[in-house]
Structure formats: C-alpha cells, structure tokens
Chains A and B, each alone.
Chain A
Amino acid sequence: MSLSTSKPPAPRLATPKTAAIAARNAADVQLRGSWSLTFARLRRDPASIGSITVILLIVAFALGAPLVAAWTGHGPTEQFRDTGLSPSGIPVGPSAEFLLGADQLGRDVLVRLAYGAQVSLLVGVVASIAASVIGVVVGVVAGFFGGPVDTVLSRITDLVMSVPFLLCAIALVAVLGPSLPLSIAVIVFFSWTGLARVIRGQVMALRHREFVEAARSLGASRTSIMFRDILPNLVVPIIVYTTLMIPSAIVFEATLSFLGLGIVPPTPSWGNMLADAANGSLYLIAWWMVVVPGGALLALTLAFNLLGDGLRDALDPAASKGGKGA
C-alpha cells in the first residue's frame, strides 16, 4: 500500500459517505466463500478424494453398462452355456472371454455387475432423497410447532423405528409381489426416522435464536420463518445425512434382493448375484461370483460412508474438531 498522499481525510465517520469508504477499505481482504472453503477442505482429505473417485468410477460404470455389454458382446441376461460353462456345467473363471468370470447359467459377471450397479445406485439415491424429504418435513414441523404436533409426530417416528424391518418387508412382498418400486417404498419407509429426529432437535434449538425472533418482530409468517430462516441453517445435516443414507439404502436393497424380495430375476442386481452364488454353495468352486459383487458393494458403501464423514468435517469443521480457542 502506498501512503504517498500524505494525510488521510479526517475521520468524519458519522457521515455515511466516508463510512462507506472506510468499509470498502476494510473489506480489502476478500474472504473466501463457504463453498469454495468446503471444496478446499475436501480436497485436502485423501479419504474424501478416494471415495469421490470410487463413486464416480462406479457411476460411470453403471451408465456405461450398455457399452460394456456391446464391447464384450454379452447381454446382461444372455446365457452362454457352451463358452461360459465347463462341460460338466461348472461356471468358468475370469478369462479373456469372461473378464470377471461367468455365473451358474453362463452369464457374464462383468456385464451383470454393470447393470446391477444401475439398480443399486438408483435405489440408493432415489430412496435416500425421498427419505430425507420426509424426514426434513416431519422434523421441521415437529420441532417448530412443538406441543401436541410434536408429540404426535415423535410418537409416529418412534413407532416406525420399532417396526422390525425384515418381517414387515417379507409380509409386504408376500402380499404385493416383489418389484423395484416396492423395494424403494419399503426402504424409504424405514429410513426417514433418523433424519427426522436430528432435524427436530436442531429446529428446536434454532427456534430460540435471535434471528428467528428478529424475523418474528418484522411480522414474518410461520411458513416464511420455517422455510426462509430455519431451513437454510439445516443444509449441513441434511447433506451429510442424505449422503450417509445412500449406503444403507444400497445394502437394504441388496438384502431384499438376496432374500428374493427385491429385484426380480433375471434382471441383475448385486443382491441377487450374491444370492446366485450362495445357491447350492456355488461360491466354494466359483469364488468370483461372491468376490465381485460383494467387493463392489463393499467399495460403494464404504465410499459413501467415508464421503459422508468427510463432508461433515468439511462443512462444519468447528463442530467435529473443536473450535479455535481464542
């Protein structure tokens, strides 16, 4: 900074014009926006970088499933009983023809893995988003209104939390028959409760903050306070929880399919691929039938979990690592 112009103007600060200049000078050190800071923090965390990479690769793999099928020349449900199975009917292992081996019907595991990834990601993402919308609405309404509204909603949440998931799923499927939409509905129904509780607690704390009182004193309506003032302060828990919900929804779906309650064969899904392997203890001779879908499932859920943790730290470093003592 050059100070060659000798004296600065006398501080007649009370007049807005000079104060505005002062404010302008003072703001010279431009602060970084919160998003760019978040990305900077994420970039410095190897676990987050690794998990983002894994997720992007799997997404690309899922989107490219038709390409994989075209490249190998094997359809997802096409059976190659002559090349995929040994003369005695045993599936062939990883080879030039079947990169990740074949399954008990001579289908290409690689191609099925790619199409299964589509199902897993679709269910994981759609179910988590739907569940978090429900969770946020229930949590915000319960926390904001309190009283009887809160009591009713909280009891409903408790009720859903105490219903045994598998029993309920089996019963529903027995009545309605397995399908993709039903799997998603079941998963959503059992997933929103955790977020609803978290959000309710946060809203109860936010409701007493001074800025809410300020909005009230300006004459803002309740809807306006809920959506304009409170909701933006919940962005961090919502993002983190939704991210962490994805892997559990994926595992839910795999569980349902494994038990024959989810995706209907022959449509591939990671869950029913694992079920095929378990059928008749095939995995004892065809290890790739377990290791491939199992490994993919593990990698994807682990990646989402790590990303969720990384996001939490990056979005709200003060809360997770203890504030800066001043």
Chain B
Amino acid sequence: MALLEVSNLVVDIPTEDGTVHAVQDVSFTVHEGEFFGIVGESGSGKSVMVQSIMGLVAGARTSGTVDFRGRNLLALGDEAMRSVRGREIGMIFQDPLSSLHPQYTVGWQIVEQIRAHEKISQQAAKARAIELLERVRIPDAAARFDAYPHQFSGGMRQRVMIAMALSLGPALIIADEPTTALDSTVQAQILDLLDEMRREFGATVVMISHDLGVLARVADRVMVMYAGRRMELGESANVLCSPAHPYTAGLLRSSAFNREPGTPLVPIAGRPPSLLAPPSGCAFAARCPDAMSICSERPPLRRYDDGTEVVCWLEGEPGEPPAPELPPAVEARSDDPAADASIVRVESLRLAFPQRRGPARVVLDDITLEVRRGETLGLVGESGCGKTTLARAIAGLVAPTAGTVTFDGHELSTLGRREWRSLRRRVQVVFQDPFGSLNPRRRVGSIIGDPFRIHGLASGQGRRAEVQELMELVGLNPEHYNRFPSQFSGGQRQRIGIARAIALKPELVILDEPVSALDVSIQAQVLNLLDELQRTLGLTYLFISHDLSVVRHVCDRIAVMEGGRIIELDDADRLYRDPQQPFTKRLLAAAAPEIPRTPARRRLVRTARPREAGPAPVLLPERAIEGARR
C-alpha cells in the first residue's frame, strides 16, 4: 500500500542569481514497509525535494501534491506540519553534529523530543530514551544518557540521531545521506542498523545517497534523480543490474567499485546543467552517449513490465561507450641513474604531539614503509588513524619525533634551508578538500602559477603560457585563467589542485583523499586524469583514501593503517584475495560489492507523453493502470 505518494512535485527557490529550479515534475510512490532509495549527484535536488516535502525550505514555491496517509503535506499549515514532523515522519541528516544541539545532553534532547509530542512523565520519557539508545547499540546507554554530542564519535552521533528519529515511532523515516560523513566500516554498521530498525519498528525508510554502492546494499526500490528530475525508478535489482536509462548506466560505469582494477573508468563527460537555466528537453542530453535529435524535447515516461519507469526517449538498452584509451606508460624518472628502486624510505617513524594535559598523543607509531619509483602505493584506514600526518611527514611538512624519512637518498631532517626548498619541487601534495586548499581570494592563474613564482622559474608572459599549458593538460579551459576558485565546480577545483602539484614536474605526488569530496561521475574523470598523468609524466603516487574500492582500482600496493600503525602491506590483488588482519577483513567487507550486470529482460508496456510545456504532464492514464493492477 502506498504510504507516501508524490505527484508532479515542482520546487522553485528564488535566489539572488535567479530562480533555482531545484525539483521539476517528480512523481514517485513509497510503499509501506519498504526501503526506498533516492540517488543522484550532489546538487541534483534530492535534499531540497525531501525538505520541501517536510516544509523545511524557506521561501520555496512548490506545486504538485504530496499525499501522506490521506493528507496533502504541501497544503498543510505550519502547526499541522510541525506535528507531522518527528511524530509521523522522522528525519536523519547527513551531519548529526549540526542537528544535535551542542549545549544539551543527548538524553535531554531525546526526552524533549518525546515530550514535545506526547504527554508523558519525565521518568517515562527517560526510560524510553535509554531503551532507544540501547536499541541503536550505544554501549552503556544509561551512563551515556548525560553525555554531550561532542563526546560521541561520528558514528555514535548518527546512532543517536536514529534513536531520536525513532523515538515517537514514526511511520516514515527520511534519511538524507546518513552515512556520507562516516568511515566505510561505520557506514556499513549504520546501514545495517537502519535496515534492522526498519524491520523491528515496521517503519518505512526513504534514504538519499549519492553513492550507488550504498543503495545497492539496502534499498528495495530506487529512484535516480538528475538536475532536479526523475530519470529512472524501479526495483533496485532491476535498475542497478540492468539500467534502462543512459544516466544510470553511466553512473555505474564510472563507479570504481564496479570496474575491474586497472581498467579505466568510463566517466560521464561534462557536468550537470545549472538549475538556474535547465535545458527544456532532456536534462541529461548534453552528456548522454545515446542522445538523439528528438532529445531536445521533453522525454516521455516509459513503463516496463518489470515495474521500471524511465523518463527517456530511448527505447532499447542504453549503449556502451568505449572505455578511454590510456597512453603507454613511460619509465619513472630519476635524476640519478644509479638510484635504487625506492624513492622514499620511512624507517621506524614515530610522531607524537605534545598535549596541554597528560602525556603526548602518539599519532604515528613505528612506521616503516618504502615507496617504489613509478608505483602507486595506497594508504587506507579510518579517519583519524594518521594517514594525513604520515603524508605530511613524508612531504617534510612536519618533523618526526623519532625515526627517519629518506627521500631519494637524502634524509629529510638533515636538509638545509636551500635543500629543503629544492625538495619542495620534487614532492608535491594534492589536498583532500578542493574547497579549502585553494585560496578563495586569488585567481586560478596565480594559484597554478605559484610554484613558478615561488621558485623563481618563470614570470610574466612565460608563466602565463606555462600555466595555460597546465590547464589544458588537466582539462581546464585556459581562458578561465582569471577566474576565482569559487567559480569552478568541485571536480574542476581538484583539477586546479592537480595542475598546481604537477607544475614543477615532481617525482612524487602525495594524493590525500583526492576524490573523496567528489561525485562518482566526476571521481572517474579525476581518477582517469591522474592515471594518465602518471603514465605520461612517470610520476610516483602515494594515494591516501578511506575508500577501499577506489584504492583497489588505482593502486599497485596497499598499506592498511590502524591507530597510527601499518598493520598490513601487500600487493593490491593479494591483499584483496587474502587479507590477514581482522581489521583489513572488516574494511573489505564494508566496501561496496560489485553489482553484477545482467541483460535486461523487460518489455515496454506504456509510454506517457508529457504535456507540452507547463509543469504537470498528463499522467492520469498511468495511474489507471496502476490502480487496475492493485
């Protein structure tokens, strides 16, 4: 039975730059008791859609209907909506720290939530809160009832959010990217917990994610969104194993977990359209390998006999574009032909930060590691295990407490000022956060030109020419030389960071989570770019990530870190086939499984043409069929 039925939902948000058409004509039905997934790249309007369903988007203009238990939520007043939220629909957000109040204890917040909606005593509410905390497996729940949010880890906070969402026994739980900010092992636990709670409490879950791998694990049905529109909707096995929409197929092809290691990913070219001026025809047309001339008109809704609904002109299966060809690899460079095979040697490295109170905090503990010339060495581990610190120590940006780091035969701690500066040309870092690592107030040309300026290698027209060549090399438009970083998307910014890093032709590039902040289709573009640069420039990479599927895809060897130590180091293949350490096994288990591609066996049953212009296409005959089927 349908619990939530959204029809022809349109959400427009007026802003300074014009109207953001965040959601355009989206319809879907969530059945009682199911796990419904919504997937799409960031900015595709997923969050705005669910938030406007809940009446949480200030200033939004909505049309269409959202039928929840016989009421149209869009037409409900503020007061009525408040009682629906929490009581009938629980919400879980991406960042639990911002939805929990930092000044109140976790227990108090759950009790308040309960007592705001139900007339029960303080004791009863507290007992219920503790029981809920136990149910979401917070160890020692009664004692932690009085803890503050900052005293919990990210995963624990998300558990608290789940407990809070469940506290009033809502019929529907909406989770917006609940696991995106978490490590992959914790992510898996939270997903399992959500699924379990759904069964136990008989709730229905709508979960938003940008990660197909996550949804493939848990969702019964999924809806794929793109640029504020619905692209494909159906049972998750059908949609993910035999996608009927070119966009879904493209997303799967660009996901690292879904491709053979060593084979290039197939990125989706370009980037999503601006929601300020979305194209009037198919929103995906500019990036679609199957686009036809008719695609400049609004595509029809096609329904197949297995229940899959696709908004697309294509009738057959989406085509399979050829994988990009990679250039042949060149030999890794070395200034000294007699140099040995390793470029970096780390020996018994130990690093401890002094603390105000108590003993020093040991971040790196007895690390011995070798990076071989020309290889890609992966470094995986959960956040906080010391990956970035190790990278900074290898780059010579922090001094170790004990032990040595040797770069190409020179020990870093013995370098003088001049030598240290010349080392900076040979080791480069690409930072994790494409937003934080570029100075927001400087122009891209001067950011990429920095290495030339700092080392006095080129100036004026010469520098400009070098920079524009680099921009071309990493796939940026050289005409954007004078733009500011904020005028680029996340993927383009990461390209800027990469251009800056390779400017001086370094030998070693340290990549600190270079794609973690990017969407899958953009991840694939950046990963392929890195691969290509490595081949043509003979670079050595130290690739840091918490995502094992990405690491496996690009790395020759993988080092697994836990609590400041390297617990396992092996060839990527061997580590995957035969992990030794329990932690490695857990990491592997948490990584997204490959989705088997099966040929589609579906038949088109109906095509509904959209009405010319106007937000509401004729979908009525469609409903009639559905009704007849029930």
Interfacial residues, chain A to chain B (CB-CB below 8 A): 1-16, 18-20, 22-27, 29, 31-32, 34, 37, 40-41, 209-211, 213-221, 224, 228-229, 232-233, 235, 324, 326
Q: Can you list 5 A-B pairs, Cβ within 8 angstroms, ordered by A?
A: A3-B293, A16-B474, A19-B529, A26-B270, A37-B16
Contact in complex: B395, A217 (CB < 8 Å)? yes
* Chain B residues bordering chain A, tally (CB within 8 A): 77
Measured CB to CB, the closest approach of chain B to A210, in angstroms, equals 4
Question: Within the complex, which residue of A8, A19, A209, A217 is in contact with B286, where a contact is CB–CB below 8 Å?
Answer: A8
Question: Within the complex, which residue of A4, A26, A41, A217 is in contact with B397, where a contact is CB–CB below 8 Å?
Answer: A217
Measured CB to CB, the closest approach of chain A to B295, in angstroms, equals 6
Q: Which of B354-362, B399-407, B437-445, B605-613 is the contact stretch? A: B437-445
Contact in complex: B296, A1 (CB < 8 Å)? yes
Measured CB to CB, the closest approach of chain A to B250, in angstroms, equals 8
Contact in complex: A12, B397 (CB < 8 Å)? no
Chain A residues with Cβ below 8 Å from B486 are 31, 34
Chain B: CB-nearest residue to A217: B429
Bound Cα distance A88, B438 (Å): 75
Chain B residues with Cβ below 8 Å from A32 are 17
Q: Which of B84-92, B115-123, B219-227, B260-268 is the contact stretch? A: B260-268
Q: Which of B156-164, B320-328, B569-577 is the contact stretch? A: B320-328
Bound Cα distance A6, B292 (Å): 5
Chain B residues with Cβ below 8 Å from A22 are 269-271, 475
Contact in complex: A218, B324 (CB < 8 Å)? no
Chain B residues with Cβ below 8 Å from A11 are 266-270, 287, 289, 321, 324
Contact in complex: B424, A217 (CB < 8 Å)? yes
Measured CB to CB, the closest approach of chain A to B432, in angstroms, equals 8
Measured CB to CB, the closest approach of chain B to A27, in angstroms, equals 6
Chain A residues with Cβ below 8 Å from B286 are 1, 8, 25
Bound Cα distance A41, B324 (Å): 46
Chain B residues with Cβ below 8 Å from A5 are 293
Bound Cα distance A215, B431 (Å): 11
Judged by a CB distance under 8 angstroms, whether B413 is at the interface is no
The interface residues of chain B, by DSSP majority, are classed as: loop
Bound Cα distance A14, B487 (Å): 22
Chain B residues with Cβ below 8 Å from A18 are 269
Contact in complex: A220, B450 (CB < 8 Å)? yes
Contact in complex: B454, A220 (CB < 8 Å)? yes
Chain A residues with Cβ below 8 Å from B47 are 326
Bound Cα distance A2, B296 (Å): 7
Contact in complex: B287, A20 (CB < 8 Å)? no
Contact in complex: A14, B281 (CB < 8 Å)? no
Chain A residues with Cβ below 8 Å from B425 are 219
Bound Cα distance A14, B265 (Å): 9
Judged by a CB distance under 8 angstroms, whether B525 is at the interface is yes
Chain A: CB-nearest residue to B17: A32
Measured CB to CB, the closest approach of chain B to A196, in angstroms, equals 21
Question: Within the complex, which residue of A1, A14, A40 is in contact with B326, where a contact is CB–CB below 8 Å?
Answer: A14
Chain B: CB-nearest residue to A34: B484
Chain A residues with Cβ below 8 Å from B472 are 16, 20
Chain A residues with Cβ below 8 Å from B431 are 210, 213-214
Bound Cα distance A232, B432 (Å): 23
Question: Within the complex, which residue of B281, B296, B480 is in contact with A27, where a contact is CB–CB below 8 Å?
Answer: B480
Contact in complex: A210, B433 (CB < 8 Å)? yes
Contact in complex: A217, B421 (CB < 8 Å)? no
Question: Within the complex, which residue of A3, A220, A228, A324 is in contact with B295, where a contact is CB–CB below 8 Å?
Answer: A3
**B492-551 residues at the A interface, CB under 8 angstroms:** 492, 497, 500, 524-525, 528-529, 531-532
Bound Cα distance A10, B289 (Å): 6
Chain A residues with Cβ below 8 Å from B395 are 217
- Sorted nearest first, the 4 A-B pairs with minimum C-beta distance are A19-B475, A219-B424, A11-B269, A14-B528
Contact in complex: A233, B441 (CB < 8 Å)? yes
Chain A: CB-nearest residue to B503: A218
Chain B residues with Cβ below 8 Å from A20 are 472, 475-478
Bound Cα distance A27, B440 (Å): 18
Measured CB to CB, the closest approach of chain B to A18, in angstroms, equals 7
Chain B residues with Cβ below 8 Å from A214 are 429, 431, 437-438, 497, 500
Chain B: CB-nearest residue to A40: B16
Q: Which of B125-133, B272-280, B378-386, B592-600 is the contact stretch? A: B272-280
Question: Within the complex, which residue of B268, B437, B475, B479 is in contact with A16, where a contact is CB–CB below 8 Å?
Answer: B475
Question: Within the complex, which residue of A3, A12, A31, A221 is in contact with B322, where a contact is CB–CB below 8 Å?
Answer: A12
Chain B residues with Cβ below 8 Å from A324 are 15
Chain B: CB-nearest residue to A324: B15
Chain A residues with Cβ below 8 Å from B270 are 11, 22, 25-26
Chain A residues with Cβ below 8 Å from B271 are 22, 26
Judged by a CB distance under 8 angstroms, whether B428 is at the interface is yes
Chain B: CB-nearest residue to A4: B293
Q: Other than A23-B480, A26-B492, give 17 A-B pairs with Cβ distance below 8 A.
A: A3-B291, A8-B287, A11-B269, A13-B528, A14-B267, A15-B532, A16-B472, A20-B476, A20-B478, A24-B479, A37-B16, A40-B16, A211-B438, A215-B450, A221-B454, A228-B442, A326-B48
- The verdict on A14 contacting B436 (CB below 8 Å), with A213-B397, A326-B47 known, is no
Bound Cα distance A213, B439 (Å): 11
Measured CB to CB, the closest approach of chain B to A76, in angstroms, equals 45
Contact in complex: B475, A216 (CB < 8 Å)? no
Measured CB to CB, the closest approach of chain A to B470, in angstroms, equals 10
Bound Cα distance A8, B287 (Å): 8
Measured CB to CB, the closest approach of chain B to A271, in angstroms, equals 39
Measured CB to CB, the closest approach of chain B to A22, in angstroms, equals 4
Measured CB to CB, the closest approach of chain B to A51, in angstroms, equals 22
Bound Cα distance A31, B274 (Å): 11
Contact in complex: A26, B489 (CB < 8 Å)? yes
Question: Within the complex, which residue of B276, B432, B492 is in contact with A29, where a contact is CB–CB below 8 Å?
Answer: B276
Chain A residues with Cβ below 8 Å from B492 are 23, 26
Judged by a CB distance under 8 angstroms, whether B285 is at the interface is yes
Judged by a CB distance under 8 angstroms, whether B9 is at the interface is no
Bound Cα distance A220, B455 (Å): 8
**B294-312 residues at the A interface, CB under 8 angstroms:** 295-296
**B1-45 residues at the A interface, CB under 8 angstroms:** 15-17
Contact in complex: A3, B281 (CB < 8 Å)? yes
- The verdict on A211 contacting B439 (CB below 8 Å), with A16-B472, A27-B480, A218-B451 known, is yes
Bound Cα distance A221, B420 (Å): 12
Measured CB to CB, the closest approach of chain A to B96, in angstroms, equals 15
Bound Cα distance A18, B528 (Å): 13
Measured CB to CB, the closest approach of chain B to A25, in angstroms, equals 6
Chain A residues with Cβ below 8 Å from B421 are 219
Measured CB to CB, the closest approach of chain A to B274, in angstroms, equals 4
Bound Cα distance A19, B442 (Å): 24
Judged by a CB distance under 8 angstroms, whether B589 is at the interface is no
Measured CB to CB, the closest approach of chain A to B57, in angstroms, equals 8
Bound Cα distance A9, B17 (Å): 32
Bound Cα distance A42, B47 (Å): 31
Judged by a CB distance under 8 angstroms, whether B465 is at the interface is no
Chain B residues with Cβ below 8 Å from A224 are 454
Contact in complex: A12, B487 (CB < 8 Å)? no
Kindly name the residue among A5, A8, A13, A235 whose own CB sees the greatest number of chain B CB atoms within 10 A.
A13
Chain B: CB-nearest residue to A220: B454
Chain A residues with Cβ below 8 Å from B281 are 3
Measured CB to CB, the closest approach of chain A to B387, in angstroms, equals 15
Judged by a CB distance under 8 angstroms, whether B473 is at the interface is yes
Measured CB to CB, the closest approach of chain B to A197, in angstroms, equals 21
Judged by a CB distance under 8 angstroms, whether B288 is at the interface is yes
Question: Within the complex, which residue of A2, A10, A218, A220 is in contact with B321, where a contact is CB–CB below 8 Å?
Answer: A10
Chain A residues with Cβ below 8 Å from B474 are 16
Contact in complex: A14, B291 (CB < 8 Å)? no
Chain B residues with Cβ below 8 Å from A1 are 279, 286, 296
Chain A residues with Cβ below 8 Å from B17 are 32
Chain B: CB-nearest residue to A19: B475
Kindly name the residue among B292, B439, B474 whose own CB sees the greatest number of chain A CB atoms within 10 A.
B439
Contact in complex: A13, B525 (CB < 8 Å)? yes
Chain A residues with Cβ below 8 Å from B529 are 14, 16, 19
